[in-house]
Amino acid sequence: MSKVPTLCIKFNRYSEAGICPICGQWYDAHDGPELFLEATWSPVCPRCGEQYAPALMKTLEQLTNWDWKRELDPDLLPQDDKQ
Ligand SMILES: [Zn+2]
Protein backbone atom coordinates (compact mmCIF):
# COMPACT_ATOMS: atom_id res chain seq x y z
CA MET A 1 0.00 0.00 0.00
CA SER A 2 2.79 2.42 -0.76
CA LYS A 3 1.51 3.67 -4.05
CA VAL A 4 -0.92 6.56 -4.08
CA PRO A 5 -3.32 6.11 -6.98
CA THR A 6 -3.34 8.77 -9.65
CA LEU A 7 -6.84 10.04 -10.32
CA CYS A 8 -8.18 12.19 -13.10
CA ILE A 9 -11.45 13.76 -14.16
CA LYS A 10 -12.82 12.66 -17.48
CA PHE A 11 -16.08 13.20 -19.24
CA ASN A 12 -17.97 9.98 -18.78
CA ARG A 13 -19.92 8.92 -21.86
CA TYR A 14 -19.90 5.27 -20.97
CA SER A 15 -21.85 5.55 -17.75
CA GLU A 16 -20.79 2.20 -16.45
CA ALA A 17 -21.45 1.07 -12.96
CA GLY A 18 -18.64 -0.91 -11.53
CA ILE A 19 -16.33 -1.72 -8.72
CA CYS A 20 -14.19 1.12 -7.46
CA PRO A 21 -10.64 0.13 -8.45
CA ILE A 22 -9.26 1.41 -5.15
CA CYS A 23 -11.56 0.20 -2.38
CA GLY A 24 -13.57 -2.45 -4.19
CA GLN A 25 -16.96 -0.91 -3.37
CA TRP A 26 -19.72 -0.87 -5.95
CA TYR A 27 -20.11 2.54 -7.52
CA ASP A 28 -22.65 3.83 -10.05
CA ALA A 29 -20.93 6.27 -12.34
CA HIS A 30 -22.94 9.08 -13.88
CA ASP A 31 -22.87 10.69 -17.27
CA GLY A 32 -20.75 13.79 -17.37
CA PRO A 33 -17.66 14.65 -15.36
CA GLU A 34 -16.46 11.74 -13.25
CA LEU A 35 -13.38 10.73 -11.36
CA PHE A 36 -11.38 7.85 -12.82
CA LEU A 37 -8.24 5.97 -12.12
CA GLU A 38 -5.78 7.40 -14.58
CA ALA A 39 -5.50 5.57 -17.90
CA THR A 40 -8.65 3.56 -17.21
CA TRP A 41 -12.41 3.97 -17.47
CA SER A 42 -12.83 2.61 -13.95
CA PRO A 43 -14.91 5.12 -11.98
CA VAL A 44 -13.56 5.95 -8.54
CA CYS A 45 -16.07 6.25 -5.70
CA PRO A 46 -16.45 9.63 -3.93
CA ARG A 47 -14.98 8.29 -0.71
CA CYS A 48 -11.72 7.34 -2.39
CA GLY A 49 -11.81 10.61 -4.28
CA GLU A 50 -11.95 12.51 -1.01
CA GLN A 51 -9.13 10.47 0.39
CA TYR A 52 -6.70 10.63 -2.53
CA ALA A 53 -7.69 13.73 -4.47
CA PRO A 54 -9.81 16.15 -2.40
CA ALA A 55 -8.99 19.02 -4.75
CA LEU A 56 -10.28 17.04 -7.71
CA MET A 57 -13.43 16.21 -5.77
CA LYS A 58 -14.04 19.92 -5.22
CA THR A 59 -13.51 20.56 -8.90
CA LEU A 60 -15.78 17.68 -9.78
CA GLU A 61 -18.47 19.13 -7.55
CA GLN A 62 -18.31 22.40 -9.44
CA LEU A 63 -18.28 20.66 -12.80
CA THR A 64 -21.30 18.61 -11.83
CA ASN A 65 -23.20 21.69 -10.76
CA TRP A 66 -22.28 23.42 -13.94
CA ASP A 67 -24.75 22.89 -16.72
CA TRP A 68 -22.52 20.67 -18.83
CA LYS A 69 -25.48 19.05 -20.58
CA ARG A 70 -25.80 22.12 -22.75
CA GLU A 71 -22.52 21.21 -24.38
CA LEU A 72 -23.85 17.87 -25.51
CA ASP A 73 -26.89 19.22 -27.30
CA PRO A 74 -26.73 22.80 -28.58
CA ASP A 75 -30.46 22.61 -29.34
CA LEU A 76 -31.09 22.66 -25.61
CA LEU A 77 -29.70 26.15 -25.41
CA PRO A 78 -32.40 28.72 -24.73
CA GLN A 79 -33.25 30.92 -27.68
CA ASP A 80 -33.26 34.08 -25.65
CA ASP A 81 -31.59 35.10 -22.47
CA LYS A 82 -34.19 35.71 -19.81
CA GLN A 83 -33.40 39.00 -18.21
ZN1 LIG B 1 -13.45 3.60 -3.60
Cα distance between residue 42 and residue 18, in whole Å: 7
Q: Using a CB cutoff of 5 Å, list residues around ligand 1, an ion.
A: 20, 22-23, 45, 48
Distance 22 CA to ligand 1 centre (A): 5
Distance 18 CA to ligand 1 centre (A): 10
pLDDT in tens, the chain (83 residues): 457 899 999 998 876 778 899 999 998 888 889 999 999 889 999 999 999 999 999 999 888 777 666 666 666 656 665 55
Cα distance between residue 61 and residue 66, in whole Å: 9
Query: Hey, which bits of 24-63 come out as E strands?
Result: 26-28, 32-37
Distance 66 CA to ligand 1 centre (A): 24
Instruction: Give me the residue spans of the domains in the chain.
Output: 8-66
Contact (Cβ atoms closer than 8 angstroms) between residue 47 and residue 24: no
Query: Hey, which bits of 1-83 come out as E strands?
Result: 7-12, 17-19, 26-28, 32-37
